[in-house]
Structure 1
């Protein structure tokens, strides 16, 4: 036995734990009698034996269980060092139940015991049990807690959304002084930043991050990742730049992976290419996760970067299912469905099994092709692979067949292949019947859906209304709309009103349509008015059509089609003077645009308020101008405003160069004129205002710099 102890200790000193198990097994085989006689002598060897067994659990765990039985028989399992090593063996072997039994039978548990048990729960995904054990540890153990364990539990809080518990742990960390001790402050603070970010409290995370005395690349990466997770992409890019410029910290591979989604969100190809170049220089470009993130960034930046995405994909030596799916989706979204289908075949030939994301991308490609043949091939593969059981895949198949004109296949999938239907399933099949002209069946399915416990949303309601509209189900459409308005079960939007008013207009119920229009709780859209004008024309209500056409021009004066529609109404009324007046206004617009010799491409930027600004340069044949050549800003404002009012009034004679002081002051206020800087700022006007009066433009060497601040471009 002395020889055995010496041999085992020698192997321990050399770290040859696998040989320890083999040696002990051989010793038992050749000297079985000595095992019973020297059971107590094993106590000193058990920690080494248990550690050796945990090195290769599948091979040596049975031997470890034998020595566990010996420790129970001799009572040595009650010793702290042996029980901790035994617990560690079961934890590393993934035997969570054995580990729990060992933990529960231990009479004395130190901080190492608690750490092992809690970490085992975390590693095996038992987050609730890990949190409960952590709470018990704080109540029963008064020793200083390990920062590594605290960080692990904070990570669990972030994954499970336990913000309240995370805040409690934060308070305990402050009381225990972990935030001030230099070895652990950065480590623990980073874990807190990550926890708050995962719990969607990015404000607290940013505040905590700003208070950190010392920050490393892991801290910066955690904060950048938190901003991306919470949708604050601009802040993540700002932190990424500050990290390098202000702090002088080089980003690591994980940092680059986390910041690439922000580049994709803003379609910032320039920043994305810089990150790509940095990764190449530092050897990160061949790493699988980085390649996947880079490919996703190029794919989301549109058709302009499709070649870059293809190059990254082709050069990748480790194409996993995520990369295949991203590339197929990229081709499909950019209309290159042929390459998407071809790549799908290559993926299968390469032995990579498609997942649900891949199939959704290839279904989109089939939908774009409107090919029933391709749709059936993809559908057959989905059924064979068993992925049709996923409700979102089934929903996509319903939509695909409906748009291909094969609604019977959509109904078969809806009735027989999808076992658990959600509101998207119902919306897809209702929309499918509406799209293919079977309004009664769509309405019947909508009534059937109302009897279920599934909540009906606005999209499903709009599909049912559209079915009534396209199938001429006037009374059914009225009943459906009025019931929803009375019950207030669905939030009715302008799109619903547009569809309902179109139903009334097509059926000739124009007075009722106008009454609905006047009682709308929101501002009517141009599409509603245009549709109603057309309905009035069809049913011979020309006076009503003329009133609505003028309203349409007031609502959307920059759309030339509205003037054409008004002109057609006037022509049917034999109001040829009105037709001539509308044409005169359009000719005036053309004459004002004619002197412009050059319009520079618009440059978009983001203002401090986050709204988009469009900067337009207009100049004559002079190549360069000085600040003195901006001309009379008041004259510019008058010309622009006069032109706009001419369009709005549509035929009322208005002198575009009126010098009335009150009129000019009113125009200045509406324009928000800045006379000192020589530019006019106009809210909510579109590109119809990109003109100037010929009188102003004739001034030699004049140019105009205007900023149009738009709410949406």
Structure 2
């Protein structure tokens, strides 16, 4: 009896340490007690494995698993379930699966743990297969688990599978999820991610209970899919319900920023000020972004920034990024220096904004200086920072710098390859861009729509017509990459520049979407280049109709008429510009002198 009481006391001490987050002290105490046989292994193993996963102590966690096997504790499903969850946090799905397969008995928690393991590590297919196995055994998964599955379907745009899960919930009586606010909210987010806004709104309207997360999901979804009026209508309905989450206000500010509704943004600012949201760092960051994107004076953004009680790295990154996006790179760099002067440590997001400022300035001098800062403080390991540096060097005219950054990167993603392909294209090195694209495919790096656009643009800059047509044809047949308006525009521009105007017109006629103003302008420019006034006169009405207030279109038409001696046409176009009150803006160029004394 005394031994039992001592064991219970030691177990309680271990659990107390774990609850307070003292993981390493817990491990030391466990070693001492285990060596003296003062601890009940079975009762503390689940808690210890959870501590290992939280502290990321892979070696100690594996040792605990071995101890469970040695003592026979693994035969208990509670212990094995905790081991599966531990391996999930270690991103060791193979070991978790071995534990799952060797368990003599599995309860619903076992199945949920294995499915969560796959979801946590991004293995959607394996998670769905395990979910199917659980369903065939008659086990009803929890709403939280089904919500995670649906959410991952949305992130991977697996609309068919997500819809099947939704249908299963409706028709199968064993799966009682329809009343779960967690699952229904996940469905709302899923349908928005898949571009089916009407279905998301239908699910939302059918919900009897809506929490703060639900309202945030509906407003964010409407904003992402550019349904701004619906987003504001949902906000008003949310106010009527008496629910005002900060996250929903931030999502609505994004709607104001994207739609240019500065007036509504100011109203939300005032509303937040009255309800004590304005002092939040995240809200202040969203306000700064909104004022900048709405075309408002950056004076308002600065007022928000200076009025913050505490300026952390998030706010600094927001204000620096705002100036960089508005084209005031010098101000962005000055703010970065001021940030360092106030001893606020930048993160990789801040660095991306500063690199963007250097890129917009086309300043190789500033870019090289900042690259030195990146190397000195160890930010070069961030893939996103490396990708931004590749782009910066390319746009500042230093292709060799881009290549060197790419080769020195310890890890690369598809963006890294795409950015260097774009760099080659920007400098007219189409053959090298194609060679890099083929190397990317050989290495098994998955290309996407951005990669394809980079390859087509490189071919366009270098005049590689046949190669571009072959790449476009392969992408069309592959069906893994969805061709967008930009892809067609790039191919049409290349065909037009190379004199294949009939092929360009045929591509324009057969494309599955409406042509953009850029496409019409590109074709008209090609007609001017190759002296095809007959085709240009057919295309011009479409061009003017697509952008009636763009002075560049009228100027292009004037040049075509002038080159062919059609002076009455020139006079007519000039009169139309006067009637439409269209004025041509002046162009400008910028150069950076090596010697500042020049």
Q: What TM-score comes out, normalization by structure 2 length?
A: 0.70
Does 1:296 pair with 2:289? yes
Structure 1 residue 326 and structure 2 residue 318: aligned?
A: yes
Q: 1:159 to 1:11 in 2, by over 3 A?
A: farther
Whether 1:482 and 2:478 are equivalent positions in the alignment is: no
Offset from partner CA, 1:236-256 (integer Å, 9 cap, x none) = 1110111113xx232212222
Which residue does 2:208 correspond to in 1? 213
Counterpart CA distance in 2 for 1:457 and 1:283 is 47
Change (3 A) 1:289 1:537: closer
Q: Is the 8 A contact 1:517 1:524 kept in 2?
A: no
After superposition, the Cα gap between the structure-2 partners of 1:10 and 1:270, relative to the gap in structure 1 and judged at 3 Å, is farther
Give how far 1:167 is off. Answer: 1.4
Specify which of 177, 180, 189 is matched with residue 185 of structure 1.
Answer: 180
The answer for the alignment partner of 1:16 in structure 2 is 16
Which segment is superposed worse, 553-562 or 332-341?
553-562
What are the ranges of 5 or more consecutive residues in structure 1 without an aligned counterpart? 36-41, 402-408, 432-441, 466-478, 505-511, 563-713
CA distance in 2, matches of 1:164, 1:443: 36
Q: Deviations over 1:32-69 (max 9, x none)?
A: xxx9xxxxxx8x75033332452355498766655644
Partner Cα distance (2:61, 2:423) in 1 = 54
Paired residues for 1:291-440 under 5 Å:
291-312=284-305, 315=308, 317=310, 319-320=312-313, 323-347=315-339, 350-355=344-349, 357-367=352-362, 373-374=365-366, 376-378=368-370, 386=380, 390=386, 393-399=389-395, 401=396, 409-413=397-401, 420=417, 424-425=422-423, 428-430=426-428
Q: Which blocks of at least 5 consecutive residues in structure 2 are unaligned?
A: 19-24, 408-416, 430-457, 473-485, 509-517, 545-550, 585-598
Q: Which residue among 8, 32, 35 is the counterpart of 1:29? A: 35
Deviation at 1:513, TM superposition (A): 5.0
Which residue of structure 1 aligns with residue 128 of structure 2? 131
Aligned equivalent of 2:463, options 429, 438, 447: 447
Does the 8 Å CA contact 1:388/1:394 hold for their aligned counterparts? no
Whether the 8 Å CA contact 1:341–1:365 is kept in 2: the answer is no
Give the counterpart of 2:522 among 496, 499, 504.
Answer: 496
CA pair 150-240 structure 1, distance change in 2 beyond 3 A? same
Partner of 2:106: helix, strand, or coil?
coil
Partner in structure 1 of residue 161 of structure 2: 165
Relative to structure 1, is the Cα distance of residues 258 and 7 closer, same or farther in structure 2, using a 3 angstrom cutoff?
Answer: farther
Q: Is the 8 A contact 1:256 1:275 kept in 2?
A: yes
What CA RMSD, in Å, does the superposition of the two structures yield over aligned residues?
4.3
* 1:90–1:98 contact (8 Å) kept in structure 2: yes
- Asked whether the 8 Å contact 2:359–2:367 carries over to 1, the reply is no
Structure 1 residue 334, shift from structure 2 partner: 3.8
Three-state SS of the structure 2 residue aligned to 1:482 is coil
- Alignment size in residue pairs: 502
Aligned to 2:511: none
2:6 aligned residue: 7
Match of 1:625 in 2: none
**Which structure has the greater CA radius of gyration?**
1
Q: Given the superposition, is the C-alpha separation of residues 381 and 100 from structure 1 closer, same or farther in structure 2, using an over 3 Å criterion? A: same
- Alpha-carbon deviation of 1:225? 1.8
Q: 1:117 to 1:513 in 2, by over 3 A?
A: closer
Give 1:115 shift.
1.5
CA–CA distance in 2 between the matches of 1:68 and 1:375? Answer: 51
Aligned-residue offset at 1:117: 2.0
Q: Deviations over 1:499-524 (max 9, x none)?
A: 345546xxxxxxx5543433437546
Asked if the contact 1:147–1:178 (Cα under 8 Å) also holds between the matched residues in 2, the reply is no
C-alpha distance in 1, partners of 2:174/2:306? 45
Q: CA deviation at 1:198?
A: 2.2
Q: CA deviation at 1:174?
A: 1.8
* Matches for 1:634-645 after TM superposition, within 5 Å: none
Match status 1:116 vs 2:109: no
Higher strand share: 1
Rounded to whole Å, the distance in 2 between the matches of 1:82 and 1:416 is 51
Correspondence for 1:84 among 66, 81, 84? 81
From the superposition, tell whether residues 391 and 489 of structure 1 become closer, same or farther in structure 2 (CA, over 3 Å).
farther
Partner residue in 2 for 1:143: 139
Counterpart Cα distance in 2 of 1:288 and 1:133: 41
Specify whether residues 314 and 485 from structure 1 end up closer, same or farther in structure 2 by C-alpha distance, changes over 3 A only.
farther
Q: Contact (CA 8 Å) 2:262, 2:296: kept in 1 or not?
A: no
- CA gap of 1:548–1:251, structure 2 versus 1, over 3 A, is same
- DSSP 3-state at the match of 1:128: helix
The aligned residue for residue 238 of structure 1 is 233
Q: 1:483 to 1:90 in 2, by over 3 A?
A: closer
Residue number in structure 2 paired with 1:598? none
Shift of 1:273: 3.5
1:252 corresponding residue in structure 2: 245
Work out whether 1:520 is the aligned partner of 2:539. Answer: yes
Distance 2:57 2:529 in 1: 77
Distance 2:177 2:494 in 1: 64
Q: 1:429 to 1:293 in 2, by over 3 A?
A: same
CA distance 1:316–1:296, shift in 2 (3 Å): farther
- CA distance in 1 between counterparts of 2:402 and 2:174 reads 57
